[in-house]
Structure 1
Amino acid sequence: KYLTLNKNELIYLSMLLEDPLLKSINDVYKLRTYIFDAYYTGYLEEFKALNQKDLYVFDDYLKTSEKINSLIDEKRQISKESFEMELYKNALNFANSKRIMDIKRVLESVNKPSIRNFINTFQPEMFENVKIWMMTPEVVSTIIPLEYGMFDLVIFDEASQMYVEKGIPAIYRAKKVVIAGDPKQLRPSSLGIGRIEEEDDLYENDILKDVTIDAKSLLDLARYKYHETILNYHYRSNYEELIAFSNAAFYDNKLIVSPNVSFGDKSPIEYVYVEEGRFSKRQNEAEARKVVEIIKKVFRERKNNETIGVITFNSAQRDLIENYIDEEIFKRSRYQKEFEEELFRRDNDEDKSLFVKNIENVQGDERDIIIFSMGYAKDHSGALMRRFGWLNHSGGQNRLNVAITRAKDKIYFVSSLYPEEFKVEDLKSYGPKLLKDFMRYCYFISNGNKEMAKVVLNELHATEKVSKTVLTNKLVDEVEQKLSRFNYRIDRNIGIGTEQIDLALFDELNNKYVLGIICDVDSSDRRINARKDLIHQERYLKARSWEVYRILSKNWYSDNNKEIKNIRDILKKAN
């Protein structure tokens, strides 16, 4: 390693070994402090030299961040107003078109033409003035003329569920294409549709076989061919416990998840054990009854009219729960009205009804509260039959990922088994093994054992990122020591995932964090992108109710009193 040292490192090493001033220091702590100060002074000077054009971001970080935030808000407002004006202009042109009365007459007639014939007849008016079309790929092929590049932009959503050939007709009609989706969620299914599989002996041993033949979905093909952009800020779940498992198991901890700024009376995940549950004819009656009891409990206790969804691991258990809900309605129980209203609930013209779905049909849904009925249990003879349906198939783990990321506020995991009773280690399929890990995670979170929950997450993501270097720890230590004079409890490393907040001031009276502090030690070879690396992270945390302040190591070691004053000013404004 000595041979790999650069000139400055060799000079520094020589100083440590031979400098008489260092040799004369007998106090080890004093020596370490002296060495660190000398090293960091050199580090700062080198950093300034290498990043001179970017230092405007650091020199007055608060003013710079406020200016960038103001510009982002201004751009957003201008974009919104421009978009609305463009839509209004096209709507006005449409209303003043020569054939508008013919269009009204056709729409109001008793014998209306097919949509395809209508569009073909009034194609100039439709495509000159209607600028946004929302259709499935099949509808595009059915009603839109096959004309190359007629749309400026075509966006595919949930492209992981679409076969390549279904997207080709819409792509042909586009000048530009955006393909959005999640490879860790549902894959295309040919159930009830069928798909022609091409088998050609000429391709049998061809390493360079066209990738479009092997791609399972349009998203797969796009990822092979084009640049990929990851949307890694997570917004759905209001508590980090609800997304931490998926982040570790499926996304390599790349999702940026906000730690909890406040805490409810109960855990965001509750593991509900049903001791008498038995699995018979692919159903578990005891669990189904328990699910209905939990729904009634939510009706009684909810404070913000939370929405509810139920997810099962097979269709038989889904049907059983639906039957028990129907019984509550038809026997005119105390909860009849609540069930009826919830089953047909719409908020702001959006479907927010109580749903009961099995694991393969839940993508695209979200609810405040999700209740899982695992169903699988020992039968009446005490044997556990390991028949897991879709979960056992290829891609079964993706269905699990979809299911466990539907909740915004709360998960109830109803099971007739404790996690260690679920014996699946010898199976080849990954889905059931991952389900057991999720059971363990839910059990530990439910019982307040966050340390064991972290163990489960770390096992899922073995290459856990080491987020605190020696330099960062020293900076955090120094900041914490200065903040100890404030009248707040100081917590470190807030969060159970990898995206943690270094320090936070906790108000025990209101049971919430009043300020999070990010201690930022940047490596000297890093290109600073103020908007991407700094501003967006802070805007995201503020959107999740955090008040945050970033301490840059350069600013701290240049004038730590100024940084403490800034923190004190923020706390005064908060109060």
Structure 2
Amino acid sequence: MITLIIAGIDKSIGPGDIVGAFINEVGTASDEIGKIRIKRKEKQAEVEVKLSAAAKIIEIMNNNQIGGVKVNIYAQNPDDLIDKEIMDYYHKFKHLLALEFSEREAQYNLEMKYLTARERQARGRTILNLTGQEAGFTFDHLFLVKFKPVYPEQKISATEIKAGNTVIITANTSKGKQSITGRVVKRDDYFLTVSFSVQPPEFVYNSLDIRIDLFINKDKFNLMNSILESVKKPVNQIQQRKIDILLDRQKPLFNKQSIIIESETLNELQRKAVNKSLAAEDIYLIQGPPATGKTTTAVEIIKQSVQTGDKVLVTASSDYTVDKLSEFLLDEGINLLRFGYPINSDQQLINSTFAELIVKQDSYLKAQQLRKDLSKKYLTDQPNFNLETNLNILNQEDKKIIEQVKDLEKKAAQEILTEADVICTTNFAVGSKFLTDLNFDLSIIEEANQAIQPAALLAFLKAKKTILLGDQKELLPDIISKEAAKQGLASSLFDRLTNLYAENCLVKFKHQYRMNRKLMGFASLYFYDNQLRADESAAKITLADLDIKTSTDNAFTVQAMQANYPFVFLDTSEMKAAEHCLHENGLYYNPVEAEIILDLINQAVKSNLSAADIGVITPYLAQINLINQHNKFAQVEINQAAAFQGREKELIIYSAVRSNQSANLGLLKNLNQLNLALTRARRKIIFVGDSKTICQEEVYANLLIYTKKIGLYYKL
């Protein structure tokens, strides 16, 4: 039973009048009506009715008459009218998001209170010794500042801070410690560009000891909570249908008319994925292990959809993947808009960005001229005058001009967004104010395994149909609250829909196009039930194909680079190569391993392998920083596995770091990260580690056995 309020009754109306109206006017059964409480002073009644009858009673009787008196009827608690399973989902994820936010807030507060700046930098959540320089404005008039290390040519330390993060900029000045909050819009090895909604204070440009701290991104949590409101109260039939699919209240449908797309560039399973995706009316799922052609398939689906007039939204968790998909689509001649800030500097991609296109629109140019003219009135007295932050001092006439400016800018944005056939952006950028009013025929969610459900729902509820692509054996959602993860926040939308609809709505790719067959073998055996098959174009590739110089030298570096060994395990267990712990805070590095890695890099380059074709992967930021400090080759990429998502190198060198008497593995226990690392190499992997420590874990013991069987095991 739920309680309905009848407002506007007078003293002539009693319980009998109410029951009679419900039965005669609505057709409510008597057993669907419970207790009735008349409140004469408030001129209202409280009536208990069954949930199944409540909506119809409100629909018919609100603004209708009871006993000749016009009344209003509504639920005492509006949420009572929503189905229980919808409310259960809503409350569950509201609770889980609250747990995760609280955990992140607690982590930040504890670290800021108890860790030194250098300790927090070692954890990847602070960058020290930076200086700022003005970098102009964004198209929507945010201030941009580019931060770089104080020392020339120095790289920014390995860090978790990336585009989209909220950060706090701090410096000690003559006025004491000053700070301002901003958002990272771009990051590379040498620069960090941050946007600000207000004019940054002078210290941002003048200080030589700027500190940048990773802060909690409240906007992302607000966005996810907002999309949960849409689950509770869908704004249109498209959302209602998708929510029914989400909760298994209705089954996904397919067009009865068969759609067959033939393409010589696709294999059989890829063609099936394209055809089923085009035939789907609601959802389709594509599970693709590394290098099995998920991106190629997604591009074909998008291309075919655009040809039929569909408007398509493409999202992913990372900017890199969004850029990669955008570049593929641009190469196909797709009319595409890249919403957000690309990592890649490809000019064709930059030319397709929202920021680049909007400044060329006539409406936007008119708006900027009005801004310029208006600003001149105030520049004499206020050199740093900015319209956005000084609206309160404008007269009424000037405020009307500002409204005109905003209308012109909005018109320019709408023109660009409307003209694009495909919009590519990150999952959270879908919540931008510029995209709020847009709906799509199709949304494609790449890296769907990485997004928690509320994050993926942003794109899922934006389109009539959604195709999700992912691989649960690679990166998973980034959750720091163990309790939230345990209660279900770690389960992605891809997981949920796979569990519900795998029989009819899922295809699994098996044909990989990157790795040498022997390299592929271990990942296939351990992570993919031995189902992966190497395409002939990749099956037998080795470093010998790249004209690598060979030598008869017995040095371990030379032996490790032999082309006939695609898999090499360099065992440090007999060496004095113990791990070190930085600041006693679980930040591990291994100087001996770092020296070995550097020797291997030098030998690889000496053997004629391009530095750009070499990747070094290690789970520990302290190890990355140590190797970077001494690495002579700027093009060699040294990072954690996550940074290599969707990418490949000819040679991957892996540094395990951990070497201790207790067989403590720490981050090495994350086997999804291991799988990601082992599947980045095309021709060779050199794994450096202490077998006595790491082989206490079954997967590493099996890796050692596998290497001895098909590759080179070398005890240092």
Alignment TM class, shorter chain as reference: 0.3 to 0.5
If each structure's helix is expressed as a fraction of its own residues, which one has the higher value? 1
TM-score for the superposition, normalised by structure 1: 0.47
If each structure's strand is expressed as a fraction of its own residues, which one has the higher value? 2
